[in-house]
Chains A and B, each alone.
Chain A
Amino acid sequence: MFTVEDLSKVYSSRRGAVRALDKVSLVIENGSFVSITGNSGSGKSTLLLTLGGLIRPTEGKVEFCGKGIFDSSSVDLAEYRNRKVGFVLQTFNLVPYLSAIENVMLPTLFYPNDNGSQRKTAETLLNRVGLTGREEHLPRELSVGQQQRVAIARALANNPEVILADEPTGNLDPALSIEILEILKQLNVNESKTVIMVTHSPEAARYGTQRLHLENGRIV
């Protein structure tokens, strides 16, 4: 599914250049559950966001299903993020003034969609993550764990092939963390979604069928 070759990302700052990724190469197969671990600043989030088309690499190539994702225009890249991948992030996940169901429907607004099924799909997704009856709740009216479940439902709104999760359990207690990880696992096992998850937690990392560890921008 993903083929990464010699991927490097260098950030320029006033204090000089920082190499976040250093010639990373890897292959991620369709339907795998990849966990990426590493210390802060090891480059694991940079790798995830590069796979998601949000960070343009300084060098190297990222292919999705045989096609270089950064070879396309910014409009195509936006469509890739919308259709092919679904994001679950640690924080800044939901739009605060939209209800749970409206947040889930967000990804369907940017490209032509069958609006008739838009709400029905969102309800089904919320039901699948155990939030039936919470559709009209605003994010502030939901617990942190429920908010993260809304984020997972939203990531699935356009039925993407890949779920990219950046520290999805970072703000959760152990019990809630397991709930979220189980949902991701079900998506991987039952629906053959490819899940790529960045985590600090060794327990969470064990959910991965393919585990990667980064240090100083390199896979070790």
Chain B
Amino acid sequence: MKLNTIVWKELWLRKSQLVSALLAITLGIAVIVGIQSVSIVSEKAIKVKLDNLGANIMVLPQAASVDDYYSADIDAPTFPEEYVERLATSTLPGVDNLSPKLTRRIKINDVPVILTGILPANELAAKPIWQSAGLVGEGLNAACDPNNNANIDYGYKDDKLQRKAVDSLAANEILLGSDAARRLNLKESDSLFIEGQSFMVARVLPETGTIDDSRIFAHLHTVQGLLGIKGQVSTIEVMGCCSAISDGLLGKMRNILPDTRITTINQIVSTQIETNNLMSKISMIFLVIIVLVGAITIGNFMWANVEERRREIGILITIGAKKLSIYYLFLIKSIMLGFVGGVTGYILGTISAMVLGPQLAGLTITPVPIYLVFSILVSVVIALLGSILPVQHAARLDPAMIMQEI
């Protein structure tokens, strides 16, 4: 028999008290683990979402309105298409997928649509000056490489760097947004006239839920000709890598194109960052509350336990238990409480996050194993903090006084 036998047997004897003491610490740890699990996945998810948007930086003329990121280019003033080359030849790290656009509202058969001229990827790649700048093919800038560690940290995977770039588009072809196709009653291979020129529907784009559904995409130079504004664009969309944006990419781009307005999906990013920060702050507040409530609960439980075991402690001291042995008996018990509380809290928090995450936040939550270590650590520290006073009280009990109480 060892001293641990006493700890186990006593814990088993008072298991109902144990459960109530564990509840506070378990629930507390579960809340923190739940919030943190959602928070970490949410942070990764927004990074991946931003990347998958295709473009997260927009170059606009100074006078353009940016109230709505997705419609900022519509009817905006124009600037020279040559700005695309300026950006491309600047060799800025983290710039990818430059996409100049010219957009105007028009009517086709009295149906209002948005005509957007785009430059297909094969034409961009064909420009010798771009090739020499290393912005296409194998030479794709390293900062945007999905295998780059910085990007992997953001949650990218090899197949995640999907771009919305259109590979090829002939001068007489158009791509139709789903809403525009529906309203114009057109399908693939149909033809239509825009401003007197005949076009063929190369593809109907899948629904995106954005203003893009109402757009008709045609070749940029064709649209410039149709609208009579040759060599002008209303926007350049840029895919800026997250890591590069945080390294001050926008400032560097403003230096290259000082008379333009360069914006990001700032609001989305900052809102998400604010939400994540708020969640982190909330979990920190919870942590403080849990440390206090948990320590007080454990302290109360241990104090009651010591009082309940006064006779027993008296016996142990009488037959020669050292103070150290009494400390051992109670501290091992509180460490066990903390350990079990940490493990059950982690399991409960992770399961809650996995169940509620998809329903409440649309996120798939996976367990974060390192949180198990933190949960146990925090929980054990809480249990030990709460036990200090009761254990000191136990070790100082006077068996002679206890005998007189009987």
Contact = CB atoms under 8 A, between A and B. Distances in A.
Interface in A88-119: 89, 91-98, 102, 105-111, 115, 118-119
Contact of A83 (B5, B316, B320): B320
A191 to B, nearest CB: 19
B325 A110 contact: yes
Contacts of B403: 45, 49, 89, 92, 166
A95 B1 contact: no
A44 interface: no
Contact of B406 (A86, A91, A110): A91
A78 B322 contact: yes
Contact of B400 (A54, A93, A107, A115): A54
A89 to B, nearest CB: 7
Main secondary structure of the interface of B (DSSP, over half): helix
A75 interface: yes
Nearest to A98: B9
B320 A79 contact: yes
B360 interface: no
A81 interface: yes
Given A95-B6, A97-B9, A109-B3, A81 B318 contact: yes
A202 B321 CA distance: 34
A87 interface: yes
A82 B320 contact: yes
Interface string B9-28: 11011000000000000000
A52 B126 CA distance: 100
B319 interface: yes
Interface size class of B (residues with CB under 8 A): 20 to 34
Contacts of B399: 54
A79 B320 CA distance: 6
A92 B319 contact: no
B307 to A, nearest CB: 14
Contact of B315 (A80, A82, A93): A93
A161 B406 CA distance: 28
B13 A97 contact: yes
A78 B320 CA distance: 4
A107 B52 CA distance: 71
B288 interface: no
Interface string A17-49: 000000000000000000000000000011001
Interface string B353-397: 000000000000000000000000000000000000000000000
Contacts of B322: 74-75, 78-79, 110
Contacts of A98: 5-6, 9
Nearest to A55: B400
A184 B12 CA distance: 35
Interface of B: 1-3, 5-6, 9-10, 12-13, 311-312, 314-323, 325, 399-400, 402-403, 406
Given A102-B9, A110-B322, A118-B1, 20 more contacts: A49-B400, A49-B403, A54-B400, A75-B322, A78-B322, A79-B322, A81-B319, A81-B320, A94-B315, A95-B6, A95-B315, A97-B12, A97-B13, A98-B5, A98-B6, A106-B315, A109-B1, A110-B321, A115-B1, A119-B1
24 contacts: A45-B403, A49-B400, A54-B317, A74-B322, A74-B323, A78-B317, A79-B322, A87-B319, A89-B403, A94-B315, A97-B9, A97-B12, A98-B5, A102-B5, A102-B9, A105-B1, A106-B315, A109-B3, A109-B6, A109-B325, A110-B320, A115-B1, A118-B1, A119-B1
